Structure 1
Amino acid sequence: MQRTVAFYTLGCKLNFAETSTIARDLEQQGFQKVPFQNSADLYVINTCSVTENADKKFRSVVRQAQKSNPEAYIAVVGCYAQLQPDQIAAIPGVDLVLGATEKFKIGDYLEDLDKQDHGKVHSCEISEADFYVSSYAIGDRTRAFLKVQDGCDYKCTYCTIPLARGISRSDTFENVLQNAAEISQKGIREIVLTGVNIGDYGKGEFGNKKHEHTFLQLVQGLDAVPGIERLRISSIEPNLLQNEIIDFVAGSRCFVPHFHIPLQSGSNTILRRMRRRYMRELYAERVERIRSVMPNACIGVDVIVGFPGETEAHFLETYEFLLSLEISYLHVFTYSERPDTLAADMDGVVSQQERKRRSKMLRSLSAKKRRTFYESQLGTDHTVLFEGENKKGYIHGFTENYVKVKAPWNPELVNTLHRIRLEAIDSDGLVRFQALEPISIP
C-alpha cells in the first residue's frame, strides 16, 4: 500500500514555503499527502522557536499526531529542531529530528517507518548551513510564498534565527524569476516574497558577502515577469527599505501597496539594547515616504513588549510613537527569553504580568489603527483576491492594500480577482463592498 504523509507547519511564511517543498519531494518518492487531522503513516512537523509559545504549541501538535495514529512515525524539522534536537528527541512519540542541513534530505532517512524507543538526531553545527535550497509553497492557498533568501547576519540580542538558520544567503536572480514564472503559470494570482531578511537579498552561498544583485534589482526583475498578477513583499527591515524600493513599488505593474516593517520598539534606548540597526527617526522617515507616494498603502508593524530594561517610560515612548505614526496594524509579540541569546542574561527583567498588560494595550491600539485605516478606505475602489475557505457561510478576500472583505460564500469566486468599491465596516470588523466589473475569471 502507498505510504501516507501529513504535514504541520509552525511559524513564518518561510516555513510554509519549505514545508511545501519537502512535501513535493516526498510525493515524488511515493508518499501520498493527506490532511494532518487524518491518520497517516508519517507526520512531518516543521517547527518554529521564535517564542516560548511556539515551543509549547509543538508539543501539542505531537500529541495530536499520536492521537490520530499512535503507530505513526513522527519526524521533526525546522528552527526548534536545529536549536534543541536532543530535547525534542526525548519527547515521547518523536522518532526523527533533522537539523538545518538535513531537513531537505528527509527522504534519505525514511527507508522504514518503525517506531523508535528514542528519537534519532541528525543535526549539524549551524556554520555548516552555508548552502541555499529553493522553496515555494503552492496548493494550500490562493497565494504562493516564494523563498528568495535564508539566514541572517544581524545579531539582535533577542533572536535565535541566526543560530537556527545560519548566515544570510540568497537564491540566484535567475532562479527566483523562473520560480515566480512557474508559480504564475499554475494559476496562482499572488506571490508573497519571503525570507529571514529579504532586504539583504543578493548574498551568495558559502559566506560570500558580495551582493550579486540587490533587492531593488530583484523587485524590478520580478515586476517584468509576464503573467504575474500580484507581488507582495512580506517583511523588510526599515534600514534596508530604501526610498528607491518604495518609489518603484509605487509605480510598479504588479507590486501591491503593502509593507510590513519591523519596529520592535519605539524607544531608541531599547533599540540599542536590542542591537537593531536603526533608530526610531529612520523608521518615521520610512513611513512618511510610503505615505507620500502611496497614500492608500497598508503598513504593518512588528513590536516587542517587555524586553529586559523596558521601563514604563520606555513602553510609553513606544506607545506614543506608534500612536503618532500613520500605520495600519500591529503584530504584537510578548518578549520571551530564548536560550543562548544575549537578552536572556540581561538585567531589568519585566514581570510576566506587566508584559501581558503592555501587550494588551498595544493589541487594543492595533485594533484602533486597523479600524481607522479601514475607515479611510471606504468609498474607494480596489481589486480583491478571494480566498478558498468557507467561513460560516462567507468567503473572505484581501484587497491589494490588505483590507479584508467578505461576501456570501460562492465557490466560483475562489482564487478570482474582482474590482470592488469598499462601502461599510461590518460588526465583525470586515468590510462590505459593492462589486464592480470583474477583471479576471479562471
Structure 2
Amino acid sequence: MTAAPTAVSSTAMELEARWGALNYHPLPVVLSRGEGVWLWDESGRRYLDMMSAYSAVSFGHSHPELVAALTRQAQTLAVTSRAYHTDRLGPFLEQLCRLTGLDRALPMNTGAEAVETAIKAARKWGYTVKGVAEGRAQIIVPAGNFAGRTTTIVGFSSEPQYRHGFGPFAPGFVQVPYGDVAALERAITPDTVAFFVEPIQGEAGIVVPPEGYLRAARELCTRHRVLLICDEVQTGLGRTGRMLACDHEGVKPDGVTLGKALGGGLLPVSAFVAREEVMSVFGPGDHGSTFGGNPLAAAVGLAALQLLERDRLAEQADRQGRYLRERLLAVEHPALLEVRGKGLLVGVEIDPRFASARAVCEALMAEGVLSKDTHDTVVRLAPPLVVNRAEIDLAVAALERALQSFEPVDRLAA
C-alpha cells in the first residue's frame, strides 16, 4: 500500500522529549501534512488515518471548504470576546440548536469546558428549579466514563491513573455501573439533579450499552425529575451513523455536550446545548469564556455543520461503518476477540496473550495505517467520515497483515 518505512526525524521527537511535558506517549512518527483521510510524515511516507484525532477530524484533513471558511474569517475578524455581538455567532448557534433539536447553546472551546458548563448548569438548575438544598446537588455518572482532564472531571472517573495525585476532588458525584438501569434507579435520590452519560463509551474501549439502556434512562430521569445529559463530544455530529448517538434509541436528552468535530478539524470548538429550562439558569456573569463563541470558531463551526448536513455524512458513517464491521468480523485470527461499535466508531478487542493493543498499533503503523490503542487491549478504528470502501479495505488488509506477526505468549515460551 505504501513505500517501505523510512527513518523518522529524531530531531522533532527529541525536541518534544526535551522541552515538552511527558503527558503523552505518541507513536514514533512525525507528521507534517494531511489531506482527506491521509497523513504524510516528514519523509513523505503516506499513512491512512484511522483515528481522525479522536473524531476531531471527522471531515478529513484540510477540507477545502472548511479551510476557506477559516481563511475568510481570519482575514476579517477572529476574536473580540463576548463583550460584543458579532455577525457570526448567531447563525452558528441557530444551526446548532436546529440540528440537535434543543433550544439554546452556550459555546466554549474544548470538550472538557463543555462538560464543566453542563455540570454548572445541572447544579444551578437543581437549586433554582428543582429545589434541591444548596450544596447537596448530586450528579450520577457511569463507571468507565471519560469526559476530560480537568480536576472536577477526573474526580468522577473510575480510572485510577486519571485520579492519582490530583485530589482532593469535588464532591457531588455518584458512580454506577455502565449499562445497568437498576443501579441507576437505586442511585437516584431527591438530591439527584442529573445523569451524565456517554451513549457509547469511547475511551473505555468503544463500549456499547445494552439495547434500550438510554430509553430506560430517559424514562427514569423524566419520572424522578432528573436531567439526562448526554456527553456527545466524541460520538456526536454523525460519528456513530446518526446526528447524535442518542438518536439510535430515539432519545431526546435535556442537554448535550459537543466538541471535537464541531471545529472541523481546524481549531477547538465546543458547546453545551440544552432545553430552555436548563439554559435559563444562566445570567450575565455566571459563566463565560474569552474565546468561546469567537467569530473564527463560529464561522468554522457553522461551515462544519452545514457540510455535515449537506453531504449527509451521518448516513455515510452508518453505511461505511457497517461495511467496516463486516470486513473486520471476517478477519480470521485468534488474536481478534471482538469487534464492537456503531457507525465509524469501532473498537477491536485484542487478546493480550498475543499482543498489547499498542503493539498492534505499532505494527499497523509499519503497514501504513495510523490508529491508537485504549485500555491496553482495544485498537480504535475511527476514520474521517469521508472514508470510502477502498480505503476501508486497505485498513482491514493492513490489520490482517499486522496480526500475522503475533503469536500467543505460551507458544513463544515453549
Same fold (TM over 0.5): no
Which structure has more relative contact order (CA 8 Å, sep 6+)? It is 2
Q: TM-score, normalised by structure 1?
A: 0.27
Alignment TM-score, normalising by the size of structure 2? 0.28
**Greater strand percent: which structure?**
1
